[in-house]
Structure 1
Amino acid sequence: MHYDDLLVILGEFGTYQKRQYLLICAVAMAVATVVLSIVFYSAVPEHHCKVPDAYVDYLNLNYGNVTQDELLNLTIPWIQDDDGTLHRSSCKIYDYQSWTENLDFFGSGAYSVNNGTRDDRNITVGLVKGNMSEVACPEGRVYSQEEFTATIVSDFDLTCESKVILSTCKSIFFVGKLAGAILSGILSDRFGRRPIFLIAVCVLALLGTLLMLSPNTIIYTLIYTCIWMIEIPVFLTPYTIGMEFVGKSKRRLAGFGNMAAYSIGYCVLSLYAYFVRDWKYLALTIHLPLFLFCLYYFAFPESVRWLLSHGRNQEAEVIINKVAKVNKVELEQGILEKLFEEKSEMQTTLHTPIDMFRTWDRAKITLNICFNWMVNSNVYYGIALNTQGLGGNIYLNFALLGLAELPAFVLALLLLDRIGRRKVALLFYSVAGIGCILSGVLPSDLEWLSITFAIIGKIGVGGSFAVIYLITAEIYPTVMR
């Protein structure tokens, strides 16, 4: 007897499996907030050069007190965008010497500003008249707290000449994610899904709590890279257990339900970040609740498939009997012995990641799946991490990008059995590609349309991601999964 045959008898998605899936979906929601919170940690507030006291003293001496806006208009260069919009430079200030030489005063209370004049305490917004040289901020930058109270960008000054550090940090995070994906599979196959999950979630909670104490960019990058490495087993091991606990006919529903929970966590994060705008408090309050998942020690079972494949039949029998009891199913006498005999051959075979490449046919499948994962990850996180770059309200855009995944899951569920996995994946890839390309080429004055196509692209990549998760779980046997 095969384990799938036993699941039909036990109930492919009975009461026991539904209870476990609620626990698994709670993990998925929490992981979404952990992974995607980087969007708000690394958001770039509006900023400009801090105006040195020498500039202020010069103006006060030659004219009198000026307002903050007047001071910035006179000392910070203005930049004109392609659409004609003027805004203050974020990274430059007028050189003090050329500024004092070219600022034209007209006696009591009037000096030239662009094509207008300062008179009766009314400064026209624009460039100061004269050929003014510009320099990098000599005394650092001032960051607006209107949208974000504090981010790593404002705390560690990661803009202008230092903005490459921010992009480098994000690249390093993905190295951690790759390492986590590799180690998660090896360790969970060796030691079991359940212990790896319990250890990983405790470590993740601890790392996230320590994250807020980061004194500099290096420490922050090291801790957050570890977080992205550890979140992989925290998400994947429960997902795998869930897929291995339900029958074939219910795996699609179970898999997509878990992905939907992730998307709900995506949206919840947007609302939460709206009210908690300091990245340190956001990190602390997101990660502290993860310690509650340590209680899963008392409620979360090991995968029966994994136990059977490693010859731990007695433990498997205990769990199977518990499933039967909760699902109110009586097992025929001797049925488990038949199951154990079927699985006994797997005990003597040691499997490694090399087995995924042992034959050319399996190697082609593995390489294809790896390529799909790479493409999906790049596009998915490319859209998510660039939420602020879309323009508009970052919190609203972030929530819409999360919600966009839900209709993709419904559409995928409706089409999977009708046209097959590959065609559904191809459809979603096409939607994602068209949406992302159009969003990227539209001019800045069509911001709303660019956001719309970005959401369409997110629908596509969200659907394709869910499909490739399902294909990966279905195509490999338990010992390779």
Structure 2
Amino acid sequence: MNFDQILSAIGGFGKFQKILYIWICLPQVLLAFHMMVSIFTGATPSHRCQGSPSFEVWNQSLSAAHVSPNFSLVESACFYSDVNHTRLIPCGQGWVYNQETFQSTTVTEWDLVCDRAGLNTLGSSIYMFGLLVGSVAFGAMADRYGRRFVLLLSIALQTMFGVAAAFSPNFIVYVVLRFIVGATISGVIINAFVLGTEWTCTKRRMLAGIITDFAFGAGYMLLSGVAYLIRDWRKLQLAISAPGFLLIFYIWVVPHSARWLLANDRRAEAIALLRKAALVNGRVLPPAVQVEKCCIAGGERRTSKVVDLIQTPKMRKRTLILFYLWFVNMLVYYCLSLGVSRLGTDLYMTQFVFGLVEIPARSLVLITLPFSRRLSQSVFMALGGLACLLMLAVPADHPNALTAMAMVGKFGITASLAVIYVYTAEIFPTVLRQTGIGVSSMFARMGGVLAPVINMLHNVTPTTPLLIFGTSQLLGAAMALALPETANRPLPDSVEDAENWDLRRPPPTQEHLATCEAPGPDQQHLQHLAGQH
């Protein structure tokens, strides 16, 4: 029996798996906190130089600077407005900040304005670089040391360094700590997702990605309320980090991936874990599996390397396509998010709506994925690309129409992101799954880092960013059609399985086992199945 048959036999989405999903969803709420908190902790409130005019006059001067040819200087220069003109002046007396919205931020504490405003942007870039480093490092570690170990390690490091960031004595220490937190976020995301995927039967494994996305969206919306109540950046940083200590019980409740244990020749541990899962689900582990030397696919011991992703022809083609899809998805997602951030005047309500709008996109994915991963990926990317191109036809004096079209694009790219997690995990074999997702995530982070640069082209020609977004997504939609269909197919365990995908057919007797909710077969039937395989 292969592993997917065993999962189905013991209840592929039973009580054991549902409890596991609770454990992998809870950290996603904290991830959303850490990912989005800089919107509040790093905000730049209205400010003025000591002895300068009031905040209102200062804000008018900034508005005047926005429409001047010196737009690019706004972030790095100091503007002063008097009765007749706006001019550039230094500020040697120190800064005074408007505290109506924020009691304090990293900007107000370390004066990251005027000639130091670039440091705030640099800090954000370093944080994104941490996400990139973590996606590679923790992905490779998980294939070697196991999903559970790296997940627990990432949560522990995220909590400790997140709390430490709240007590940073200076900006440099703060940036270093945020870099580490960013790296651990990638470790939690990819390991929680893969752990859920590898414990879920064929027809329900898409839930591993989508359900965790819903939890992330819930955290996205909840952060707005937390930040609204806590206006001091240090207290807010502490409030989003300290709850991680409550997850210490994960040491006792989060299981290993039995699939990973088998792929690494740790059969005794895998069988004991499968027996426990069967017991929790009210099933019986097939007798042929209960012996340590049972014949289960995917038991070869090997060390995975990044180069293994491109050594064979079919794996190479699929890997390169997936890398491109990840890059484009994240690039367009961040660019559109930055573009629609100007829709509302209330920062807290705007961020709440941004989290809310992603719920229907991910809900639609739940409906389409059971039919086809490949078509879902292609259609949602095409939707996002067409929406971006259609924005070129909307006049600039119709902001409501532009906003509506931008939201359609964000809807499409959000759904596409939900699909790509599931699709990638199903295409890469077990021995390379974590490494493949880690490197794919690295390309995604490259897209995130590049997004602000692409958005800056809007100052030169407003059509260029939209052309890039639209054409890149349409190209990705076409490339996705060259990938294999993975819906209702067993996961490949080795590179050979992936290369021979078209030759792999579910055995005839597996039909009734394909459904997670099928009644548990009796012992004689299990012995009959074991004898056939």
TM above 0.5, one fold?
yes
Amino acid at match of 2:21: Y
Find 2:156's aligned residue among 183, 202, 206. Answer: 202
Amino acid at match of 1:378: L
Task: Find the residue that maps to 1:376 and give its secondary structure.
Answer: helix
Find 1:355's aligned residue among 308, 313, 336. Answer: 308
Task: Find the residue that maps to 1:479 and give its secondary structure.
Answer: helix
Deviation at 1:315, TM superposition (A): 1.1
Between 1:157-166 and 1:449-458, the stretch displaced more is 449-458
Structure 1: gaps (5+ residues) = 53-67, 95-126
What residue number does 1:427 align with? 379
TM-score (norm 1): 0.80
Deviation at 1:468, TM superposition (A): 0.5
Matches within 5 A, 1:73-472: 73=57, 77=61, 79-80=63-64, 91-93=78-80, 127-128=82-83, 134-337=88-291, 340-343=294-297, 345-347=299-301, 349-384=302-337, 389-418=342-371, 420-433=372-385, 451-472=403-424
Distance 2:167 2:338 in 1: 23
Distance 2:229 2:258 in 1: 42
2:203 and 2:370 in contact (8 A); partners too? no
Q: How has the CA–CA distance of structure 1 residues 165 and 450 changed in structure 2, closer, same or farther, with 3 Å as cutoff? A: farther
Distance 1:17 1:436 in 2: 39
Distance 1:422 1:216 in 2: 48
Between 1:253-262 and 1:275-284, the stretch displaced more is 253-262
Distance 1:192 1:352 in 2: 15
Deviation at 1:331, TM superposition (A): 2.7
Task: Find the residue that maps to 1:147 and give its secondary structure.
Answer: coil
Q: How has the CA–CA distance of structure 1 residues 76 and 426 changed in structure 2, closer, same or farther, with 3 Å as cutoff? A: closer
Task: Find the residue that maps to 2:300 and give its secondary structure.
Answer: helix
Between 1:439-448 and 1:330-339, the stretch displaced more is 439-448
Between 1:36-45 and 1:298-307, the stretch displaced more is 36-45
Q: How has the CA–CA distance of structure 1 residues 408 and 301 changed in structure 2, closer, same or farther, with 3 Å as cutoff? A: same
Q: What percentage of residue pairs aligned between the two structures are identical?
A: 32
Distance 1:451 1:141 in 2: 35
Q: How has the CA–CA distance of structure 1 residues 430 and 146 changed in structure 2, closer, same or farther, with 3 Å as cutoff? A: farther
Deviation at 1:343, TM superposition (A): 3.9
Distance 1:229 1:134 in 2: 39
> Per-residue displacement from partner, 1:260-292 (whole Å, max 9, x unpaired)?
111111111112111112221111010111112
> Per-residue displacement from partner, 1:214-260 (whole Å, max 9, x unpaired)?
23322221111111111111222121111100101001233211211
Deviation at 1:448, TM superposition (A): 5.6
1:93 and 1:136 in contact (8 A); partners too? no
2:208 and 2:422 in contact (8 A); partners too? no
Distance 2:56 2:288 in 1: 84
Deviation at 1:301, TM superposition (A): 0.3
2:40 and 2:233 in contact (8 A); partners too? yes
Amino acid at match of 1:207: F
Distance 1:395 1:441 in 2: 31
2:271 and 2:289 in contact (8 A); partners too? no
Deviation at 1:338, TM superposition (A): 8.5
Task: Find the residue that maps to 2:112 and give its secondary structure.
Answer: coil
Deviation at 1:466, TM superposition (A): 0.7
Distance 2:235 2:387 in 1: 35
Amino acid at match of 1:476: F
Q: How has the CA–CA distance of structure 1 residues 223 and 445 changed in structure 2, closer, same or farther, with 3 Å as cutoff? A: farther
Q: How has the CA–CA distance of structure 1 residues 270 and 449 changed in structure 2, closer, same or farther, with 3 Å as cutoff? A: farther
Task: Find the residue that maps to 2:80 and give its secondary structure.
Answer: strand
The answer to whether residue 12 in structure 2 is matched with residue 25 in structure 1 is no
The number of equivalent residue pairs is 426
The answer to whether residue 25 in structure 2 is matched with residue 38 in structure 1 is no
Q: How has the CA–CA distance of structure 1 residues 276 and 385 changed in structure 2, closer, same or farther, with 3 Å as cutoff? A: farther
Task: Find the residue that maps to 2:48 and give its secondary structure.
Answer: strand
Task: Find the residue that maps to 1:142 and give its secondary structure.
Answer: strand
Q: How has the CA–CA distance of structure 1 residues 270 and 226 changed in structure 2, closer, same or farther, with 3 Å as cutoff? A: same
Deviation at 1:311, TM superposition (A): 1.1
Task: Find the residue that maps to 2:89 and give its secondary structure.
Answer: strand
Amino acid at match of 1:466: A
Distance 1:253 1:75 in 2: 48
Amino acid at match of 1:32: A
TM-score (norm 2): 0.73
Q: How has the CA–CA distance of structure 1 residues 405 and 144 changed in structure 2, closer, same or farther, with 3 Å as cutoff? A: same
Task: Find the residue that maps to 2:369 and give its secondary structure.
Answer: helix
Distance 1:452 1:43 in 2: 26
Distance 1:222 1:236 in 2: 22
Task: Find the residue that maps to 1:45 and give its secondary structure.
Answer: coil
Q: How has the CA–CA distance of structure 1 residues 446 and 157 changed in structure 2, closer, same or farther, with 3 Å as cutoff? A: farther
Amino acid at match of 1:458: K
Distance 2:145 2:411 in 1: 36
Q: How has the CA–CA distance of structure 1 residues 77 and 320 changed in structure 2, closer, same or farther, with 3 Å as cutoff? A: closer
Deviation at 1:158, TM superposition (A): 1.9
2:221 and 2:352 in contact (8 A); partners too? yes
Amino acid at match of 1:91: C
Distance 2:392 2:107 in 1: 24
Task: Find the residue that maps to 1:377 and give its secondary structure.
Answer: helix
Q: How has the CA–CA distance of structure 1 residues 448 and 199 changed in structure 2, closer, same or farther, with 3 Å as cutoff? A: same
Higher-Rg member (1/2): 1
What residue number does 1:121 align with? none
Deviation at 1:383, TM superposition (A): 4.5
Higher relative contact order by CA 8 Å / sep ≥ 6: 1 or 2? 2
Deviation at 1:77, TM superposition (A): 4.9
Deviation at 1:7, TM superposition (A): 0.9
CA RMSD, 1 decimal:
3.0
Q: How has the CA–CA distance of structure 1 residues 82 and 269 changed in structure 2, closer, same or farther, with 3 Å as cutoff? A: closer
Amino acid at match of 2:419: V
